Structure 1
């Protein structure tokens, strides 16, 4: 309907809506514009902030990652140092006890009192063939190895050696307790001065026999000169140094190069704590711990450095501790094995790396005082990030000669640059997510505030136009002939006076209109009564027009209409439809024999059976004429044949007496046909073929189901001429 055709009430409602809309728009448009501008500026600022954060993060991430590596390196270093310090503490206990025996004459007299104790005795067993002595293995778990040159011609231990053994006898119990209950270590022992280098060791081992096998000739040469040549001379050299602090134990600890342990326990390093004679004029042997370096390296290797990084230890000379062959290959290191006067030395040296940048870093490692980071290329165009943490300083014997230098132990961590970049990307991704969430939150807050502002503005605008809207609704009510209403007066101006006049007018109209309503109501009641009668009559007519009055199934007219509708619908869907035609056998004889009233009852019973079996919503059961029925099914021929057979059996099961039939009971004959309908097809073909199938059932003895296939046009014509 066009605007020109609109009713006055619709026009009035439209004008009222437009007026309200104008008021609302005047109140809300400024707020909406302000909100849009604010959100746009907010997005712009957040984008600028995002760029700034990304630039800042990119430039400072290396610093952050370096700090992370430093913290991780410090953590690993503290764990390693704790292990080393524990070893050194046990070494110091042995050193201090031995030095006490050396310094205090009263302590020396203890031996004369305890050597009668069967637990501590000097029951040496002399090997005359090899010319060495050792204590027999006992519960003390202490061995005391005396080399051949410390015996006389008849195999007796010389006087100086006996005195040293007697001097150190009281310490054996302490050695056993610490050896068995202290930290995991290799050998815990004392070695005498150069004149009497006896080895007092726990756990017990036949060390002379092991040395005979691994280091031929050692038994004829001074033990210090054979295994650690020059180290005693270096210690004695310290005494001539003006600033030498003889009481500072930690400053005197000396570390050997790595070597394969003679006892077969693995790669070892020896911590020496030199002892001094009572006059402090010469070295008097040493306390020592042979320590399996694996105890330290396991701590380093088990720590995770990033995702794919790794760590290892490096000495000042570049000697690498704790790298696998795979890591050594990655760093392009080559293993070198040397001999230090009988002690096998095996190492990787970082300075010998075939990666030039890594080799240069290793050459300058001594300059690292605390922590430093570098970068190098691994030879496959992959950048590596390397950090170096100085752990502790120590005295290092060079492996030959009287040279002991101040060295340091470093923790080296290597992480691929690619992993650092992944961390960077991850951090930036998280920052972007946080910024996005923050932006969404700010937009949401802004939107909520804008909605609240709009709500307040709309409320204020509507509140100040209430009288106009009330009058508008009042006029609409009058337009709908509701004259009994009155308008609330909320304004105190001319609009309020106008509302009062309007209320008076509606009261006058209401009185007059009430009388008209009474007359109209009476008339309306009469019309409703007549209308109700007509509706009931129409329903009855509708039922009569579609349903067979006797059997209460559909009649022939409705059957024809439904078949036409189904044909059209299923032609579109390309789905088969089937038709069953049913005839009650010898029904005329039944009527003649039992009367028409019984015949009607028979028809109703048969119709009931058909309805019970064809109960799908798409099935149609109709009285086709007289004693004939028709059933439309939207199913395949095979399913429809099963349905027809079930109907035949169901009627048979009724066992309705029929003396004029060969069966003695009422039976039915059925003809079935099926077709795939076409929009331009003739549905009469379906009916014709079903009828011909029904004829065949009756011709072949009745009480059966026959099927007639839809045949080509020529065959169908032949069937048409066949008598029924």
Structure 2
């Protein structure tokens, strides 16, 4: 045992061990830093994509659901002003018929009175005509469906069925009676379609505070799921919406958010979904938040599902009518890690190559160093044994100098190898930075027309509004709509419709030559132009140029009622921002001008003069607004005397 403890290591091994340890540590550290940098960049990129996607979903819900609330607000206003007697079912039918004819599918509007009667007008994509569903006295349990002609008269009885359910006992009717104000119904399942449905509600009371009935407008939530499925933000990314009780509202995978139990449909809790990703995210939320309503701001989660890390972002969605949902966006890390893993493999191969090369060089150097030292040791032994050599000391001094030179040589090699690895890491980081910049550019650009999108419009208008507020300069907004574009699409098809949108967008964008002005695609066939430091006369001039330029394109439009080519209707409004007006008022007033241009024959420009008189401002703010779905041809009930029209 004493011999084992006193056993000495060979000189070459003593020299090479510290060198190997240093190389291994350096290579491991470089590899780890490279991996961590790539992983951090991936997570940041995923969070940015999820935020952008969540914003798009929020914008869609704001637009889509607001239409339903505005629909019943129009009905309530008509009742308040005495245009509709809700006790006269024929007057209600006439009002709802007019509303349905002006809407684009899908559109559902109805009225249920306190007697148990219910009239619903439906304009659905799968039907050629408007359908009315009626429940009338004396049999309030009989549901009759009629197809209507173009005058609103009953043309054909489609079906008649007995449903043992009093409409006054339904959850949505009871919700309206309980809230006593404009609100949303609980989500329920239409067992006949089948689909999830939510109703916008407005209860109607007489002067004695007796409930006369409820105006309602239905929303089929599967249309929200269709929108989610079109969001291509990641190869395997998913989005879904859930209620605070955990039930699914809509998913991008188009999985049914309900279950069929004994031929009866029931809501599906997200954690019970057959989709493992949705189920995992919902279960994680339930574990971390016992009460989902406590999620008051955007949160990020990391969930491991079958050895695949999921990045998830959860954001609450609320509106002033009591709606409270959770928007969930999910991106698997594997969607981004393929390229990162390849780069990491290359980095590790370079590290291993450098390590092997360093070991080979280290062994050679150790051998080169050990030989003169061994000779020096032999010389010392010879001297101890009495064999003296005059060259021993000189040899010793020379070899020590060679040893220092060799270490300097190795240090230089190691430094070069380290710099090479750092350059590789820097190159990969720069590539990721460029990718992020490209994504930011794409986020502000409309993919079809290649002009600025709605997100860029909102950001730029907010910025310019604040600047004009400080500088007291006029700010002009032009909203324009392609006349009868839905008919153009129906006649030529969506592909040629897209080409038409591109031509119109590029032509409009070429009108304003100032770099400070912004042309955007506002939505569908609508475009918006922000003109900074521009008065109403300047705005009208630009609008005239836009209208003339589109007309000069001579894009054939056989389905137009006003010309044989594509034309524009334009609304112009100018305001000097102050603390008594808002961006929303600015956009809404310009939208009113656009509506008036369309209502007076289209292919014209309409502008509204800005008036600081508070009484006129209040009158203007009372105008009613409603919008169609897809066609974007708005319905307003306004005082026409506030606007000015330019017919060209």
Q: What TM-score, normalized to structure 2?
A: 0.39
Task: Return the structure number with greater strand share.
Answer: 2
Q: What TM-score, normalized to structure 1?
A: 0.35
Task: Return the structure number with greater helix share.
Answer: 1
